[in-house]
Amino acid sequence: MMKHILFVLAFSLISFHLQAQYGYYGVEKNTASMWSLGVKAGSPIVLGDVDYTLGGGYEVGLYVQKKVTKVIDFRFSLDKGIASGMNAFPSSGIRNNTALNGERGAVFQPVIAYDTLEDRFFHNYKTDYYNATLFLKINLNRIFAPYADSWDIYVAGGIGSLLYASWIDAADHQNNIYDFSQITISDPIDTEDIRLQLDAMRDGTYETIAEADFSRAGLGNYHVLTTAYTAAAGFRFQISERSSLGLEARYIYTTEDLLDGQQWDKNSQLTTDVDALVSGSVSFDVMLGKR
């Protein structure tokens, strides 16, 4: 009995090794030359202190992917995105926010000092970012179906850098601060009505750089560089012998709390949660090299 078990285990290990190296009829698969070049487009949101549902944005990117085995790929991606949001309720606790309390002086124009009035502001933001990530991608379906070339269900994890800057619309076209006392707030709050009132009041120009540590490494226009950890999951299917379409969701974790330009609660205390970027995208890639 033991000999039979050992024989089955040995046969299974040999078969797994051969499947990893060869395709049908014992023909070796040329995984070493399989590369893919792709483009993607989608929409991001910031999970933070400001409501993203009243915002918008976009994300576009390029990526190159190298097949290592049928199950494992390496991918390097470069993405550019803009995410925005706005609260439909006023916030206090802005006395420590240097973007809103007038502490910046003439270096930052316009000089914003909302804390001298009602200590009230409708938080909004537009975040501009660039993301470079190296991924390890695992094709889950190929663990059990190694010759399933026409589609993939996968998960991926990656580490990279996020370069971002957050801006707020804190002044009108004449560099005057907004009089938010004119906003009529119902009880309960009618989100759509507040949005319409704010859209009618605001000029939609995000002229004021949000609070940030500008002494940190960055690249012009007050962008700040930080480390980003990304988890992804997606579905990819072939539309021709050398091209594929895909759908992917990403969650990008950082140690930053200013992706949405806001880090203070109503008691002027630092909020406890860090912000994250979440995106969904559609991709198109072409395979390069020999199959």
Amino acid at the residue 211: E
- How many residues comprise the chain? 291
Tell me: pLDDT of 177 over 80.
Answer: yes
Which residues, 6+ apart, have CB-to-CB distance to 284 below 8 Å?
A: 38, 39, 40, 243, 244, 245, 246
SS3 label, residue 186: coil
Q: What is the mean pLDDT of residues 55-83?
A: 95
pLDDT per residue as tens digits for the range 209-257: 998 877 776 676 688 999 999 999 999 999 998 899 999 999 999 999 9
Domain boundaries, the chain: 1-29, 34-288
Compute the Cα dihedral for 255, 256, 259, 263 and give only its sign: positive
Integer CA distances (angstroms), 290 to 18, 29, 33, 281, 287, in order: 20, 9, 6, 28, 9
pLDDT of residue 34 exceeding 90:
no
244 vs 15, which has greater pLDDT?
244
Question: What is the CATH number that goes with domain 34-288?
Answer: 2.40.160.20
The predicted-structure confidence for 76-117, as pLDDT tens digits, reads as follows 999 999 999 999 989 888 888 989 988 877 667 667 888 776
pLDDT, residue 105, reads: 72
**What distance in Å separates the CA atoms of residue 258 and residue 125, rounded to the nearest whole number?**
10
- Comparing 50-59, 85-94, 178-187, 215-224, the range with the smallest average pLDDT is 215-224
Is the pLDDT at 131 greater than 60? The verdict is yes
Lowest mean pLDDT among 11-20, 125-134, 152-161, 201-210: 11-20
